[in-house]
Amino acid sequence: MKAGVLALQGAFREHREILSTLGAETVDVRTPEQLAAIDLLVIPGGESTTMQHLLDSAGLREPLAAAIADGLAVLGTCAGLIVLAHEVLDGRADQVPLDAIDIVARRNAYGRQRDSFEADLDVSGLPGGTFRGVFIRAPAIETVGGAVEVLAEHNGRPVFAREGRVWVSAFHPELAGDFRVHERFLQEVA
């Protein structure tokens, strides 16, 4: 299993460390050549407008969309969720997401940086009790399409979901000191 982490911007190092700890061979992805050599991809948190800009300037948008359509497994966290969404609300006018999962995301839906928070989440199918969700200027999942499975909610709103091999979390599983979300993703897409 060769696990790539999109390393254009944001919190990619933490994801790589966890994936390595879990036994995956890991690689930073910054070019179409690196993208072509991986079995799964994590798109980290960061700043979604900047990340989308860098995707375009690196020539990664088209190959990434094609790879996902071809079955590449992807986990997008926070800004990564926004990049993968079908539609983005409160985004910048020129912000075009990849439309890889049938969700509508609202940027910064929980407020500003100082409104960042943590919450214990019941994640469906995750053994060992609740998972500590770290939400940092997090997006909300406003609506999900019929093929999307919601894996966790917070206050009645979805915060973790998947459609086929595309998984998204509004929180930062790489900051919980708990590897179970990555572990489950690896197990299920392997």
Contacting residues toward ligand GLN, per CB under 6 A: 45-48, 78-79, 82, 107-108, 136-137
Residue whose tokens read 């900051």: 175
Residue whose tokens read 């930062």: 172
Toward ligand GLN, which CB reaches closer, 27 or 81? 81
User: Closest approach of Cβ 47 to ligand GLN, in Å?
Assistant: 5
User: Closest approach of Cβ 49 to ligand GLN, in Å?
Assistant: 6
| Residue in 167, 147, 159 with CA at minimum distance from that of residue 106 | 159
Note if 118 is an active site residue.
no
Note if 47 is an active site residue.
no
Note if 174 is an active site residue.
yes
Toward ligand GLN, which CB reaches closer, 72 or 81? 81
Toward ligand GLN, which CB reaches closer, 78 or 126? 78
Local structure of 21: helix, strand or coil: helix
Whole-Å CA distances, 83 to 37, 87, 190: 21, 9, 23
For residue 178 the two structure tokens come to: 């708990």
Toward ligand GLN, which CB reaches closer, 45 or 173? 45
Sign of the Cα torsion 122, 47, 24, 59 reads: positive
User: Closest approach of Cβ 79 to ligand GLN, in Å?
Assistant: 3
User: Closest approach of Cβ 50 to ligand GLN, in Å?
Assistant: 8
Question: What span, in angstroms and rounded, lies between the C-alpha atoms of 163 and 151?
Answer: 10
Asked whether 25 and 5 are in contact (CB, 8 A), the reply is no
Catalytic residue among 78, 154, 163, 182: 78
Q: Which residues are catalytic?
A: 78, 172, 174
